[in-house]
Amino acid sequence: MNTQILINNLKFLKRSVRESPDIIRNVLAHMRGPTNIWPDPAATRESPARAYRLAEDLIPVHVVTPPDGHYMTTFFDVNPFSPSGRYLAVTQVPFINRIPIPGDRARVCVIDLDEGRCDVIHETAGWGAQLGANVHWGQTDDLLFCNDVINGRATGVRLSRNAGLDQVLDGPVYGMSPDARYSYAPNIEYVNAIIPGYGVADPLLNKPRQREKASRTEGIWRTDLATGRKALLISLHDIVLALGDQSELAGGSYYVFNVKVNPSNDRLFAVIFSTGVPLRAGTPVQLITMRLDGSDVRLAMPDRLWRVGGHHPNWTPDGEHILMNLRPKGEQMAFVQFRSDGSELSIVAPGHKGSGHPSIDCSGRYLLTDSYTVEGFKNERNDVPLRLIDLEKNEERHVTWVHTKDLLGPRRIDPHPVWAPDGKRFAFNGTVNGYRQVMIGDTRGLPSNG
C-alpha cells in the first residue's frame, strides 16, 4: 500500500473517533424528533450593525445579524450580497449543537444593510450545518433561490424578497452561473453520503445512496432558473470515462460534491468523491472541469496529488485558473493555482502556509482566507484569524480574529469568508456571545481598493 494512503487511513480513523459524539447526538435527535421553534414565519427583526472587535480589527468589521439567534452565510464561493449591494442573504438555523435531521426547519432571511433590519422570507427543511439552505441571489434584489424539501423531494425553490415562495424548481440550487440563469448541481439528497452537513438532512435508516459505481442516471444537473426545468448535463458514468486511468480508485462509487461556474461563464469545476475504494478509508477526491455543455472534461487535480494534502478549490477572477490549498511534493501546505486542465501548477504567496477557504478579490491583489483550529493558527483564546495576503507585496496581515467555538466535525462553524463582487467588502461567519453570527469587513481603506 502507498505510504501516503496508509497515513491518510490512520488520519481518517482518528478523525472518526474524534467525531463519534456527533453520531450519538444525531441518533438522539432522531429519537426525539424534529425541532421547530419558529413562532412567526413572517417575523421582522431590528438588526443594526454593531462593531465586532473594535480594538483589534485591522479594518472596520461589523456584526449585521440579530444578536439573539443563529445565522450563517452559504459558502466561501457564494456571494451573499444582493446585486445592488444593499441586502445580505443568510440562513437562520434553530440550533448549532448538532446537524439537522429530516423535518428540522431553518429560515431564509434578508438583512437590509441600509436600514439595519432582518426580514424572514421563507422557511425551509432543505438545509445543512455547513451551507445553510444554499441561498443565492438572482438577477435582482427581489429574486433569491435556495433549497427545500417539497413533498418529500429535495429540490430548489425561487423566492421573492417581498412575497416569499414564488416557484418550486425541478432541480437543486448549488453552483449558479454568474448571470443567474442556470444552477449546476449534484443531487443534494446524496451529498451527505460523502460529506455530512452540505446536502439535505439524512434519515437515520435507509439513507439515500447511489446504486451504481459510476451512475448513468446521476451526475451534474443543470436547472434553468427561469423555467424551473432540469436536465442531466453529464452523468458520472460519462465523467469517469473521460478521466482515463482510474485503476487506483477501482471498486469505489463516484459522487459529485461542489460544483462551481467560473467568472467567465464558460467552464465549471466539480469536486468528485469516491467511496468504498478497497484499502482506502474515507473518500478520495478529484477535481474535474468542463465546458458548460458538458464537453471537454479535464482532470484538473488528480487523487495522486490531492491525497498528499489539499482542500477547497476556488476559481480565480480571471476564470482561467483554480486556487486551492495543496502540499506540492509533500511539502508544507501552500496556496497554489493551476489552469483548468491541471497544467501550470504554481505556488501563490510563496512562504505563506495554506489554510482554510482561500479566495482572491476581483482586482487580483488580495488573497483572503480563514483557518481551521487544527491548522496551527489559533491564538490562546482558540480564535482563528482571517488572513489577508497582499499578493503584490507578498505580505500578510490578520484582519480580525474569529471565535468558532473550537468545534470540529460536521457541526463546526467555519468563517467561510467571501468577497463581495466589487472587492470592497466581505462577509464571514463566527460566534458572538454564544450565537452564530454573520459579520462584514470593509476593505475600502486598503491600497488599490478605494
SS3 sequence of 226-265: CCCCEEEEEEHHHHHHHHCCCHHHCCCEEEEEEEEECCCC
Between CA 262 and CA 269 the distance in angstroms is: 8
Looking at 162-166, 228-232, 393-397, which range is the least confident one?
Answer: 162-166
Hey, what's the cell of 152? 418529500
Looking at 55-59, 174-178, 218-222, 329-333, which range is the least confident one?
Answer: 55-59
126 and 117 Cβ atoms separated by less than 8 Å: no
Q: What percentage of residues in the chain have a pLDDT greater than 90?
A: 78
User: How confident is the model over 144-161, as a mean pLDDT?
Assistant: 96
Q: Residue 6 has what pLDDT?
A: 73
Q: What are phi and psi of 97, to 5 degrees?
A: -85, -10
Between CA 427 and CA 135 the distance in angstroms is: 14
Q: Residue 283 has what pLDDT?
A: 93
Between CA 305 and CA 286 the distance in angstroms is: 9
Q: Residue 253 has what pLDDT?
A: 96
Q: How far is CA 76 from CA 22, 312, 418, in A?
A: 24, 9, 5
**Three-class SS of residue 72?**
strand
Between CA 62 and CA 71 the distance in angstroms is: 14
User: How confident is the model over 58-68, as a mean pLDDT?
Assistant: 95
Q: Residue 445 has what pLDDT?
A: 84
Between CA 127 and CA 40 the distance in angstroms is: 19
Between CA 121 and CA 43 the distance in angstroms is: 9
Mean pLDDT of the chain: 93
What pLDDT digit, counting tens, does each position of 79-101 carry?
999 999 999 999 999 999 999 99
DSSP state of 155: E
pLDDT band at 42 (very low <50, low <70, confident <90, very high): low
Q: Is the pLDDT of residue 119 over 80?
A: yes
What amino acid is encoded at 306 in this protein? W
Q: Residue 91 has what pLDDT?
A: 98
Between CA 336 and CA 362 the distance in angstroms is: 18
Q: Is the pLDDT of residue 157 over 60?
A: yes
Q: How far is CA 220 from CA 186, 269, 359, in A?
A: 5, 10, 24
Q: Is the pLDDT of residue 384 over 70?
A: yes
pLDDT band at 12 (very low <50, low <70, confident <90, very high): low
Q: Is the pLDDT of residue 266 over 60?
A: yes
Hey, what's the cell of 383? 480564535
Q: Residue 449 has what pLDDT?
A: 59
Q: How many helices (H) and strands (E) does the chain have?
A: 4, 30
Q: Residue 281 has what pLDDT?
A: 85
User: How confident is the model over 185-201, as a mean pLDDT?
Assistant: 91
Q: Residue 41 has what pLDDT?
A: 59
pLDDT band at 40 (very low <50, low <70, confident <90, very high): low
21, 23, 28, 31 alpha-carbon torsion, rounded to 10°: -170
State the DSSP H helix or E strand holding residue 305, giving kind and residue range, or none if neither. helix 303-306
DSSP state of 166: E
Instruction: Tell me which residue has cell 443543470.
Output: 222
290 and 281 Cβ atoms separated by less than 8 Å: no
Is the domain covering 3-442 a CATH 3.20.20.80 domain? no
**Three-class SS of residue 1?**
coil
* Bridge partners, residue 72, by sequence: 91
Could you tell me the pTM of the whole model?
0.93
51 and 62 Cβ atoms separated by less than 8 Å: yes
Between CA 246 and CA 233 the distance in angstroms is: 22
Helix spans in 3-98 (H): 3-18, 20-32
6 and 13 Cβ atoms separated by less than 8 Å: no
Buried b (16+ CB within 10 A) or exposed e, 356-384: bbbbbbeeebbbbbbbbbeeebbeeeebb
158 and 143 Cβ atoms separated by less than 8 Å: yes
222 and 230 Cβ atoms separated by less than 8 Å: yes
Q: Within 13 Å of residue 21, how many CA atoms lie on the same side as its CB? A: 8
User: How confident is the model over 114-125, as a mean pLDDT?
Assistant: 96
Instruction: Tell me which residue has cell 463516484.
Output: 254
What pLDDT digit, counting tens, does each position of 194-236 carry?
888 898 999 988 888 999 999 999 999 999 999 999 999 999 9
Q: Residue 21 has what pLDDT?
A: 78
Q: Residue 215 has what pLDDT?
A: 97
Q: Is the pLDDT of residue 32 over 80?
A: yes
Q: Residue 155 has what pLDDT?
A: 97
Q: Residue 101 has what pLDDT?
A: 93
159 and 166 Cβ atoms separated by less than 8 Å: yes
What pLDDT digit, counting tens, does each position of 243-259 carry?
989 999 999 999 999 99
Q: Residue 88 has what pLDDT?
A: 98
Higher-scoring residue by pLDDT: 221, 9: 221
